[in-house]
Structure 1
Amino acid sequence: MSATDATNNGALEKDVGSSAQDNGASVYPQMSAEEHSVARAAARFGYGPLAHVNASDAVLRPFGGEFQPGLYRDVKERKFGNPAPLGLSAFALTTFVLSAINMGAADLSMPNIVVGLAFGYGGLVQLLAGMWEMAVGNTFGATALSSYGGFWIAFAIVLTPGGFEIGEELGGLSSEEFNHSMGLFLMGWFIFTTILLFCTLKSTVAFFLLFFFLDLTFLLLGISYLQGNGHAPDSRIQKAGGMFGLLAAFAAWYNALAGIADTSNSFFITPVAHFPWSPTGRSRREKTARENV
């Protein structure tokens, strides 16, 4: 790979371990002094347009804003935008509304308002974002976003009034058979989310927390339906699941912001916290050790 390619990759990547070069102004002359100052601050976090990678290891590091917990090479000879913030935003808004209802906000008890969001935004848009993740070579992002897009579409199908009549066939939305069926449905998604959670352990803290909160959400909601009184989910466990759902929604929005905000559109850079055992964390420790010698 040429030095020019390495420089271009460094401009595109948001999560690398090395700091900014001192001659950033010569590399990016189109930037103002203020933009250079913000970019240098971003580079201290390990990402941004002034952060650079080793030319022999020009791959994207684990980063929630790219919805990628592992190393992968960027797309060559094609220019794709980052689809992760779109999918994360679709997931976050739909999860926010449903979780607020699960917590009993505004005395709402039925989640029918979520049907439109689940079909259009959390479902269709997130599914499309997942397919675009596949196009840029991000297998994890494609699997996660497409799967949760399918979850919201399936959830909307179940709750569509007078449409597919799944709830009616199970005795109604307040029947014991429906509640137990919904509990099994949610527990299956808890297992799937746990699998994805294991893949985030070498990524950023914000990325890990997104799947950790979501995992607890599915677990608690599944238990609430399975342990209900036969006609309704256990309200206390359901509210706890709603609380963790809200946390998952805000974690998704945070990761989306990290994928969108840069020096071209923001006066601040979203901090990303790296686990000490992550590639970026290890490279920083090695750099510190060299500086102290």
Structure 2
Amino acid sequence: MATPLSASALLAALRAEGVDVVEHRSWRTHNRNHKGAWGPLNGVMIHHTVSKGTDASVELCYDGHAALPGPLCHGVIDKAGTVHLVGNGRANHAGGGDPAVLRRVLTEDYGDRPPAPREHEGSAGAVDGNARFYGFECVNLGDGEDPWPAAQLDAIERVSAALCRAHGWTARSVVGHLEWSDRKVDPRGFTMPSLRDRVTARLSAPASGRPADRPSGGTPTPRYQPFPGAPFFTARTSSPVITAMGRRLVAEGCSAYATGPGPRWTDADRRSYAAWQRKLGFRGSDADGVPGRASWNALKVPHTR
């Protein structure tokens, strides 16, 4: 189980995984928290919208309708692979589902698929999925014929991996709505085991940018420095990792350096990193200048020998 990410941390985690993100209207404060719990979280749930067109689908998922007020998910993944964030907090997306499925997602110990669900919204044994899962709606008619473009499938994979990486989950924490409720069929047109295989492969390597950012041919994929932990930066550390970090901050236009950067952590590093956190959307104590995992992954500090 995990504490929900803040809006800024969610945005940074997605960007670190190379997701193209659009912040829609007041998504950071748009939720249904007044109707019930939000967290602790167990995983990510994937849906299809049964709609077409990006703009109409995004507005539907933001506003909802008379019978089901929005937000209807946390993000809408369009056919071009762009993720439109529409909510942060409890959302009307999962509804009631099977507690046996929830247990197996929590323990991440099932095989190809979690057990077949036998509960649904309103049934006697159902548990509240809206409190337990991030939800992403994917623009698709859900008729088995509407195509799933490669860019859209890539974005679904990246979104799922980003949240698994942020919370330390495996791909078994990613489920489809049809695996949660015995009355649902979404997503239709690709299989969840195939998606989990893709997420597993992605999690086996550090977070990376979009495919177009990667070298082609025989050039090796860039290696990025793993997050060394916040205490690394508060213990009078001197390391080439800090120099590499500082150079990336300068490249991102977040420099507060008069000279350098150099290998020893200084207040100029802290102020530069705070500027980077603010650039990512962090605010208040989340932009204190001490690196965290999500902002570090987004910075893509080159690996040092």
Q: TM-score range by the shorter chain?
A: under 0.3
Answer 1 or 2: which has greater strand percent: 2
Q: Which has the larger radius of gyration?
A: 1
Answer 1 or 2: which has greater helix percent: 1
The TM-score, its normalising length taken from structure 1, stands at 0.25
The TM-score, its normalising length taken from structure 2, stands at 0.24
